[in-house]
A = this chain, B = another copy of it.
Amino acid sequence: MSIIQYKNNDRLLLAIDCIIFGFDGRYLKGLFVKRQIEPQKDKWSLMGGFVKETESVNNAAGRILNELTGLSNIYMEQLFCFGDADRDPGGRVVSMSYFALIKIDEYTSELMNTHNARWFELNKIPKVIFDHKQMVKLAKERLQQKVSNHPIGFELLPDKFTLPQLQNLYEAIYETPLDKRNFTRKILSLGILNKLKEKEKESSRKGAFYYMFDKAKYKKLENEGVRFI
């Protein structure tokens, strides 16, 4: 086989940068780390790494997320290829950005310390290196758009969640208040949530019923006709 055919072409470094979203019940947050290498060492940065010769780009993204968070089986999606020739002063690095949705309490504080990581509210992110600010902006827009048609919001919530929690999440993502009655009606009308007998009693006297997302029921509708919000 003829790698020979390609040998006159340039080879580039291909990086992964990952915007990791979390939701604490009130705020939509992003996870940032203090960069460990030059250039821009100790500056805030997205989690990232390099793609290896022997792995697929998507697998590299999964690997890097796993190395840095200990998590696997996470919802991840390609975001955009950032490819300006001078985007990284350390070399010719093309970056594939991904966004990931994790349940915020699964990312433990030990790991936060190990990697010098911190959650920031999306409206209060610090100065970040290179084009990472643009990546975050784009990721947020993509999340807003995606969450309106696809059942990915649940990735940010515990397996059991209440309708008020779910509404808070959508309000945080869209940065706009929603009408409680319209919201519940619409979500429940999709028929993809299972109501549990159990109530969440922390945040109110009355307590709110838990629900779970029913993937099987969703699959049946998936023929694209689903509008979440």
Which A residues fall within an 8 A CB radius of B?
Answer: 1-3, 5-6, 9-14, 37-39, 50-58, 60, 78, 80-81, 83-85, 89-94, 96
Contact = CB atoms under 8 A, between A and B. Distances in A.
Given A2-B38, A2-B90, A57-B81, 6 more contacts: A1-B90, A5-B90, A11-B12, A12-B51, A12-B53, A14-B14
B84 A56 contact: yes
How many copies are assembled?
A: 2
A185 to B, nearest CB: 23
Given A12-B12, A12-B14, A83 B5 contact: no
A65 B93 CA distance: 23
Nearest to A9: B50
A90 B3 contact: yes
A37 to B, nearest CB: 5
B37 A57 contact: no
A145 to B, nearest CB: 10
Contacts of A83: 51, 56-58, 60, 96
B53 A92 contact: yes
Contacts of A1: 39, 89-90
Contacts of A85: 53-56
Closest 4 CB pairs of A and B: A57-B83, A11-B11, A3-B91, A9-B50
